[in-house]
Structure 1
Amino acid sequence: MIETLNELDTRLFVWLNNKSAPWLDPVMIMVTERNTWLPFYALLIGWLVYRFRRQALGLLLVIAGSVGIADQVASSVLKPLTHRLRPCHTPTLDRLIHPVMECGGLYSFVSSHAATTFALATSLWLLLGRRYPAFGLTFLWAAVVSYSRIYVAAHYPLDVLAGTGVGILSALLIVGLYHRTTVGKKMVLLGR
């Protein structure tokens, strides 16, 4: 069963990875680079501080907590536990893939990019989505960043899918705990 799933995942990866174009390579490299998004994060932090003043610290801690947990589960627990090689480190795929940048770490399951971006998107949605529906667009951003990992040959589709699940679950956990606190209950009332 696992072998069949791995084979299907590899085939889907090769098909998706080969849907490339020379003009898209630099775009996907930019999308996949973490530093590209630093201005977005700075604007988000600035907006939260401006809009929520005192409550901003709680919101930022909740968001950072969900992103941090997602990253640690992906990088420090699942990758060392599974030892699944990245596609760009798999010799049998060398001639079949389109790598557009350096490969990075050795292991791929699960995608930390998918875990952290979906943790951020889910946290924002759960905390503020009712009042600010535009935060729903962060899921599109997270999906594009996650897809970029397949495009640059760093992850298989199941790595991305599992990373997405890790991110969503970590946000559900941390935001759920936050909503159970006094501060969180007040924030829920403010958010309506």
Structure 2
Amino acid sequence: MDAAITHWINGFAGLSHLVDLFMIAITQIGVPLIVLGAVLQWWSRDNRRHLRHAAICAGLAFLLGLAINQGVLLFVHRLRPYDAGLTQLLIAKSADWSFPSDHATASMSVAMAFALQGLPRRALAFGALALLVCLSRIYVGTHYVTDVLGGASTGVIAAIVVRALYRENSKLDRFATGIL
């Protein structure tokens, strides 16, 4: 079923040049845009300390999620769908294994961090872009659906761990959110 859904989504690649360009752009600049959006929260005027705390949580979740992925990659060696002849690749080949998707982890960790901080509008905006990033990874042929689901799960777990361990208004948080 994973291969069938992956093949179906990737089957739209090549049908519309504009959609292909859009999905390639999202897969290439989506995560940097999400990171930039999280960083820009630092200079928000409303609820400044809380937004700074959320931005720090997003950054920590981002890093923790990617670190977890590196651990998973030591044990799980899944071929990319284009290497298996399942998808048409629209971007350059990746040098690492397919599972889990780092793009999905990175984007979903930020979205979930903002959601867990009770910032629904920001979480919705980050979440929408994160879902586009996840979809683009399948569309361009570089990941299976379960690679993306696994990466998104890692991002969500990382955000939950950060939420549990890094407390708002702790001494460290007051110091960090007071910078600049």
| Residue 12 (structure 1) shift | 1.6
Q: Distance in 2 between matches of 1:182 and 1:147?
A: 37
Q: Deviations over 1:39-88 (max 9, x none)?
A: 553344233333355566544332211000111212x1112311001112
* Matching residue of 1:190: none
What does 1:78-89 correspond to in 2, within 5 Å? 78-89=72-83
* Matching residue of 1:149: 137
Q: Distance in 2 between matches of 1:143 and 1:42?
A: 17
SS of 1:104 mapped into structure 2:
coil
| Structure 1 range deviating more: 47-56 or 117-126 | 47-56
CA gap 1:42/1:11 in 2 versus in 1, 3 angstroms: closer
CA gap 1:121/1:184 in 2 versus in 1, 3 angstroms: farther
* Matching residue of 2:3: 10
Q: CA RMSD in A?
A: 2.6
Q: Per residue, is there more helix in 1 or in 2?
A: 1
Alignment partner of 1:122 is 2:148: no
What does 1:40-189 correspond to in 2, within 5 Å? 41-51=35-45, 53=48, 58-74=53-69, 76-90=70-84, 93=85, 96-129=86-119, 132-179=120-167, 182=170
User: Is contact 2:34–2:107 with CA below 8 Å preserved after alignment?
Assistant: no
Q: Distance in 2 between matches of 1:107 and 1:87?
A: 10
Q: Deviations over 1:132-160 (max 9, x none)?
A: 53432221111110010001111000001
CA gap 1:102/1:50 in 2 versus in 1, 3 angstroms: same
Q: Which runs of 5+ in 1 are unaligned?
A: 1-7, 187-192
Q: Which runs of 5+ in 2 are unaligned?
A: 175-180
User: Is contact 1:89–1:103 with CA below 8 Å preserved after alignment?
Assistant: no
SS of 2:82 mapped into structure 1:
helix
Q: Distance in 2 between matches of 1:39 and 1:10?
A: 29
Q: Distance in 2 between matches of 1:45 and 1:159?
A: 27
SS of 1:23 mapped into structure 2:
helix
Q: Distance in 1 between matches of 2:24 and 2:41?
A: 27
Sequence identity of aligned pairs in percent? 23
CA gap 1:65/1:40 in 2 versus in 1, 3 angstroms: closer
Code of the residue aligned with 2:36 in structure 1: it is: A
Q: Which has the larger radius of gyration?
A: 1
User: Is contact 1:84–1:109 with CA below 8 Å preserved after alignment?
Assistant: yes
